[in-house]
Amino acid sequence: MSLLVYSHDAQTRGKVRTAIGKRLASDLPPVQWQECATPAAVISAVDSGAFDVLVLDGEAAPAGGMGMCRQLKDEIFECPPVLVLTGRPQDAWLATWSRADAAVPHPLDPRALAEAITVLARRRRG
């Protein structure tokens, strides 16, 4: 299970990794992480790698995860499912604009985050 997490904030990336742990569910393989702190790193990683799910921080700087999501959905053939971390629950409409497949608001609820990523991973794997 290959997951990419993007945020300029190392603490946010760490919270996502801690919430998910080493395995999403017993029916899914162990998680392998790719962490990215810049938009260029995300584009390069997604261009060259096969990820099951992308987790993009909508509050990242200099480019937010929602803008990155929209760009990836426009530019990457068969873009993996994307979960966007929104600044607050009311920003879910922005996640829809970005074409995100799911959204979870800050502050991160580990259970909600794990459940959303598990749904996307299972959908991706068929």
What is the structure's pLDDT at 13?
97
Within 10 angstroms of residue 74's Cβ, the number of other Cβ atoms is 9
Give yes or no for residue 80 having a pLDDT over 80. yes
Mean local confidence (pLDDT), 12-17 = 97
Give yes or no for residue 126 having a pLDDT over 80. no
Domains and CATH numbers, the chain: 2-125 (3.40.50.2300)
User: Tens of pLDDT along 29-43?
Assistant: 999 999 999 999 999
The DSSP result for 5-70, as a single string, is EE-S-HHHHHHHHHHHTT-S-TTSPPPEEEEESSHHHHHHHHHH---SEEEEETT-SSS-HHHHHH
Mean local confidence (pLDDT), 54-68 = 96
Q: At what angle do helices 39-48 and 65-75 cross, to 10 degrees?
A: 30
Instruction: Give the pair of three-digit tokens for residue 110.
Output: 């580990």
Give the confidence band of 91 by pLDDT, cuts at 50, 70, 90. confident
Using CA atoms, how far apart are residues 10 and 57, in angstroms rounded to an integer?
11
Give yes or no for residue 92 having a pLDDT over 90. no
